[in-house]
Amino acid sequence: MSREWELFYNKFIVYEGYKTTLNGLALTAEIAVFGLFIGMLIGTLIAVVKVVPKYKLLPRILSKICDIYVGFFRGTPIVVQLLIGYFVLIPSIGLNLDKVAVAILVFGMNSGAYVSEIMRSGIQAVDPGQLEAGRAVGLSFSAAMAKIVIPQAIKNILPTMGNEFISLIKETSVVGYIAIVDLTKAFRQIGDSNYEYIIPYLVLAVVYLVIVMLITQGVKIIERGLKKSDRHN
Partner 1 sequence: MIDIINLNKKYGELVVLKNINETVAEGEKVAIIGPSGSGKSTFLRCLNCMEDPTSGSIIFEGEDIADMRVDINLRREHMGMVFQQFNLFNNKTVIDNITLAPTHLGLKKFRQKKIKNFFIICLNLFRKEKKNLLEINTTPKRIRAEAKANAMKLLARIGLEEKADKYPSTLSGGQKQRIAIIRALAMNPKVMLFDEPTSALDPEMVGEVLDLIRELAKEGMTMVIVTHEMNFAREVADRVLFMSDGVIAEEGTPNEIFDNPKNLRTQQFLKNVLKAR
Binding residues vs partner 1 (CB under 8 A): 127, 129-130, 132-140, 143, 147-148, 151-152, 155, 228-233
* Closest distance of CB 30 from partner 1, Å: 31
* Closest distance of CB 11 from partner 1, Å: 52
- Residue closer to partner 1 by CB (options 6, 132) is 132
- Residue closer to partner 1 by CB (options 6, 223) is 223
* Closest distance of CB 127 from partner 1, Å: 7
* Closest distance of CB 9 from partner 1, Å: 52
Cα(72)–Cα(66) distance, rounded to whole angstroms? 10
- Residue closer to partner 1 by CB (options 140, 217) is 140
Distances in Å between the alpha carbon of 40 and those of 66, 105, 151, 175, 219?
A: 15, 12, 13, 21, 16
- Residue closer to partner 1 by CB (options 133, 209) is 133
Cα(65)–Cα(220) distance, rounded to whole angstroms? 35
Cα(212)–Cα(217) distance, rounded to whole angstroms? 9
* Closest distance of CB 53 from partner 1, Å: 9
- Residue closer to partner 1 by CB (options 76, 140) is 140
- Residue closer to partner 1 by CB (options 75, 138) is 138
Degrees to nearest 5, angle at CA 61 with 161 and 90: 65
Task: Return the HEC string of 84-139.
Answer: HHHHHHHHHCCCCCCHHHHHHHHHHHHHHHHHHHHHHHHHHHCCHHHHHHHHHCCC
* Closest distance of CB 150 from partner 1, Å: 10
